[in-house]
């Protein structure tokens, strides 16, 4: 799919976005750090990540009164079919819903999430919708495979940065 032209920003390039959609393959739903650890350990990790961020969303800088959410960052190796944990990140609810746009869609919050993503990235909402369409297509490509979840980052890094 070609990059947008015309009324779109001249510096358009999704790899430069601060806030990106991270649709995970459907086959990987609920196969993650949060569901792999006891609740007390997940809370400890989440609290550690939030404290390390200084109470600010690591993407937009918001300081939400209801606290931050812990986001799992993943890399996908198609050649080995591995979904590899690469880190944890403290996010406000709005940024976290952009990362998990499928959840945002199911909650009826897609327009709000696209608007937030566009504002954070300094792009138009139309450009944001184009980018979202590409992210959903990418997720569909990843859905073709069964993924092995690799949580080795937790062992190496102990989840503390």
* 43-57, 83-97, 145-159: the lowest-pLDDT one: 145-159
C-alpha–C-alpha distance, residues 117 and 99, integer Å: 9
Q: Are 153 and 86 in contact (CB under 8 A)?
A: yes
What are 134-154's pLDDT values in tens digits?
A: 888 887 888 888 888 898 998
* Stretch 49-78: mean pLDDT: 94
- Helix (H/G/I), strand (E/B), else coil: 87: strand
């Amino acid at each position: 799919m070609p990059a947008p032209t015309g009324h779109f920003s001249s510096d358009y390039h999704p790899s430069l976005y601060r806030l990106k959609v991270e649709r995970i393959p459907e086959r990987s739903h609920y196969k993650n750090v949060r569901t792999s650890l006891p609740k007390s350990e997940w809370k400890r990790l989440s609290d550690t990540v939030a404290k390390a961020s200084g109470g600010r969303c690591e993407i937009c800088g918001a300081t939400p009164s209801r606290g931050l959410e812990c986001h799992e960052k993943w890399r996908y190796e198609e050649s080995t079919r591995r979904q590899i944990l690469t880190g944890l990140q403290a996010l406000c609810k709005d940024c976290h819903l952009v990362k998990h746009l499928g959840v945002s869609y199911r909650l009826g919050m897609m327009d709000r999430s696209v608007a937030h993503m566009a504002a954070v990235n300094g792009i138009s909402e139309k450009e944001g919708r184009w980018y979202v369409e590409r992210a959903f297509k990418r997720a569909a490509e990843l859905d073709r495979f069964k993924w092995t979840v690799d949580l080795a980052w937790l062992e190496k890094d102990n989840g503390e940065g």
